[in-house]
Chains A and B, each alone.
Chain A
Amino acid sequence: MGEGVFEPRIVVFACNWCSYAGIDLAGTSRIKYPHNVRIVKVMCSGRVNPEMVLKALADGADGVLITGCHPGDCHYISGNYKTMRRYFLLRKLLKQLGLEERVRLEWISASEGERWARVATDFVEHIRRLGPLKLKEVMSSE
């Protein structure tokens, strides 16, 4: 990471059918967004369990984005509804840890390359404002 300006490290979970394709579309359309995001592909956002989100934060990520198909559009009928419920539950836990601002759930369809670029840009700026999390350093020093 460079000197001076804080470059957040962000892990993104993207479902194969909508969000990953939407992120691909941003690429094919050459729509620019900050480099800070790192995409992890899953078949469905419903595959993402809280452990994966917490692991990302614990191991050094400053923020986590979970992305999936819009409600009603899930390739697997209802996976994104499961994601939504799990996310609200996870937020309660994150709130107790003071981390709820660092995790977001967003719906990105396969046609929303532009929207993805906006979401990514906005989230990177949001995390930049919050500053580094340094959970890994804190945990290893205890």
Chain B
Amino acid sequence: MSDVRIGVYICHCGKNIAGVIDPAKVAEFASKLPNVVVARDYMYMCSSPGQALIEEDIKKYNLNRVIVAACSPRMHEPTFQAVLRKAGLNPWLLQMVNIREHDTWVHEDTPDKAEEKAKELVAAAVARATHLYEITTEKAPVVKSALVVGGGIAGIRAALDLANAGIKVYLVEKRQSIGGKMAQLDKTFPTLDCSKCILTPLMVDVARHPNIEIYAYSEVVDVSGSAGDFKVKIKLKPTYVDWSKCTGCGVCVEKCPGRAPSEFNEGLGIRKAIYFEFAQAVPRRPVIDPNYCLWFTKGICRVCSKVCPVGAIDYEQKERYVELNVGAIVVAIGYEIYDMTKMVEYGYGKFKNVITGLQLERLSDADGPTKGRIVRLSDGKEPKTIAIVLCAGSRDEKHVKYCCRFGCAAALKHVYYIKHSVPDAKVLVLYTDVRAFGKGFEEFYQKVRSWDDVYFIRGRPAEIFEDKDGSLIFDVYDSNTGQLINVKADLVVLESAVVPPKDWEPLRRLLKVSCDPGGFALELHPKLRPFETTADGIFLAGTIQGPKDIPDTVAHAAAAAAAAIGFLLKGYVESVPYLATVNEDLCSGCSLCASVCPYDAITIEEKEGRRVAKVNVIKCKGCGACAATCPSGAMQQHYFTDTQILSEVSTLAGGAK
């Protein structure tokens, strides 16, 4: 192959690579490899001068293969492909070599071996690059609509931004109403504005928007297709109310004799068996809970049906399914609080006066079960001594390792609730660190710290015990003063850890999105692309990517929407470059390839009296299963042909000479 002209570029990545190995030596080694015309090293290959260096060399030396040994191809492959394109070369004549993540970052203790490894990886890339060839991709149109999963503040913001850009949006919410966790909050920190006052107008905007269709009390049950053209199956759970007839007058709710614990009030207080999630619910359409409805449980009552002025009650209603066709999917399903009963030492679930921060929100809310009065759940009395425990389950090897990112500021807000409800109350804030990092948080922290009878103690409670009167007794070691403090509190508030919702795992598998060690959705890049995923056309909004407070959630959701809008308005998606391809001369039409294809992209067709395999380039997603199965080598995968992989393997197995 005398016409192969390879340029090799070794990046220092500042000290990230050059601090462990000598890139100049690797370049010198590379310059002696077959077909290598030029080999250089440079401080930052990805920088503008670094890119210009490659571009100039391509023209000057008439290069037709480029090897860049630098960071992971998952980071900068598109950057360097753009350089090739700019210089008039097909981008698939680029071969990246990962000498940072796979080498210098993990082998700094053995620099000689790391350098040897870098040389071998470069030699293997040279062997492989010799067999690269030009690849062209095809374009397919994009469906200009989006699915937003989850109707909390993230989903609301993303849906509105998409809809305002002229995109048809389907907003799927599993509960009766949109609003999410933010609707459950009394106030928001550090400004202390009423949560519902800023949220509910947005909920109404969503309901009224001509480009948004809400599917409440619904779930995503299947996703097929691919970026630009997803087919999504939505399950509409039976509400036993015909929402197309219902006017939302609420007479049924008023007259219903059935009682159930209120999920919206975190189990405090009750709701009816036919209910709205909360007073300002959107859509304002009730659902019947068959677990508590007297008709479903005992075969009596039917009061709702009798009082409904429009005959909307339908006890026979079954679940229904809707198929949607969308170009992009925004995942905004939020978070759940960690199950506090798992922290047995705190007695949550066992002792009535141990509650979560979210339960305190419900107690503090004027629309909540106590009409805004903060009380002890055991006897309804006003608590005089309240302990707030930060990092309950968070930053804890036994429970959740990461920080919840809003517990500290929420705790400060909770001090405010308590001092405004019970001005003479004594509040103990038991913290690990107070992380008041957001805009206005530090000022808020200083203000709360200055209040009378508010004590900050650096320590976590040991085991909590319940006294006869329902009070809680525990020891806490204050690591600031070195003293063991005995506390008797009327109420203990746990600022709980945050985890991904339970329904995330099945959805994640449908969407083929990876997760991080905490189980949250894995972003495409932690700094540069935090609202995209490795699955094209699927975007992340809010806390499903990781814990966030409201301002960060809203910013993240708007960014996800902007990315989705850009993706949809571009108008087309390109087929993957790694497509399957058939050498018809070698193909015997055995159809083994077709049997292993997960996308039904391969058919066997008659051609000139023979049977040969044919690949549908839009259906093919480029896994290469067919190429691995083909007994004759007729089926290959672009950029991953047998020859390309085997030449790389052979060099790595044999070592660099």
**Which residues of A come within 8 Å of B, CB atoms?**
1, 7, 9, 11, 16-18, 20-21, 23-24, 26-28, 30-33, 35, 38-44, 46-49, 51-52, 55-61, 72-79, 82, 86, 109-112, 117, 136
Q: Interface size bucket, B side?
A: 35 or more
Q: Are B100 and A46 in contact (CB under 8 A)?
A: no
**B195 at interface (Cβ–Cβ under 8 A)?**
no
Q: Are A27 and B101 in contact (CB under 8 A)?
A: yes
Sample of 11 more A-B contacts, CB < 8 Å, known A33-B106, A82-B628: A1-B655, A9-B652, A17-B534, A27-B100, A27-B106, A35-B103, A40-B645, A51-B646, A52-B642, A61-B652, A75-B623
**Bound-complex Cα distance A17 to B508 (A):** 14
In the complex, which residue of chain B has the Cβ closest to the Cβ of A26? Answer: B106
Whether A43 contacts B514 in the complex (CB less than 8 A), given A27-B100, A27-B101, A27-B105, comes out as no
Contact of B515 among A11, A28, A111 (CB under 8 A): A111
Q: Tell me if A59 and B654 are in contact (CB < 8 A).
A: yes
Give CA–CA (A111, B362) in the complex, Å. Answer: 36
A59 touches B113 (CB 8 A): no
Contacts of B623 in A (CB 8 A): 43-44, 46-47, 75-76, 79
Residues of B within 8 A of A (CB): 72-74, 98, 100-103, 105-110, 113-114, 116-117, 120-121, 124, 509, 512, 514-517, 522, 534-535, 578, 596, 598-599, 621-625, 627-629, 637, 640, 642, 645-646, 648-650, 652-655
When the two chains form the complex, which single residue of A9, A41, A47 contacts B625, counting CB atoms closer than 8 Å?
A47
Q: What total count of A-B pairs have CB within 8 Å?
A: 156
Q: Are A24's CB and B101's CB within 8 A?
A: yes
CB closest residue in chain B, given A53: B649
> What B residues does A51 contact at CB under 8 A?
642, 646
Given contacts A11-B653, A79-B623, is CB(A17)–CB(B514) below 8 Å?
yes
Instruction: Give the complex CA separation of A112 and B98 in angstroms.
Output: 18
Q: Is the CB of B100 within 8 A of A110?
A: no
Q: How far is the CB of B293 from chain A (nearest CB, A)?
A: 37
Contacts of A74 in B (CB 8 A): 512
Whether the Cβ atoms of B107 and A35 lie closer than 8 Å is yes
A17 and B74 CA atoms in complex are apart in Å by 10
A57/B514 contact (C-beta < 8 A), A38-B124, A47-B637, A86-B628 known: no
In angstroms, how far is the closest chain B Cβ from the Cβ of A67? Answer: 13
Q: Provided the pairs A17-B514, A21-B74, A26-B106 are in contact, do residues A42 and B624 lie with their beta carbons within 8 angstroms?
A: yes
Is B628 a contact of A49 with CB atoms below 8 Å? yes
Complex formed: what's the CA distance from A105 to B389 in Å?
A: 45
Q: Are the C-beta atoms of A79 and B654 separated by less than 8 Å?
A: no
Q: Which residue on chain B has the smallest CB distance to residue A22? A: B514
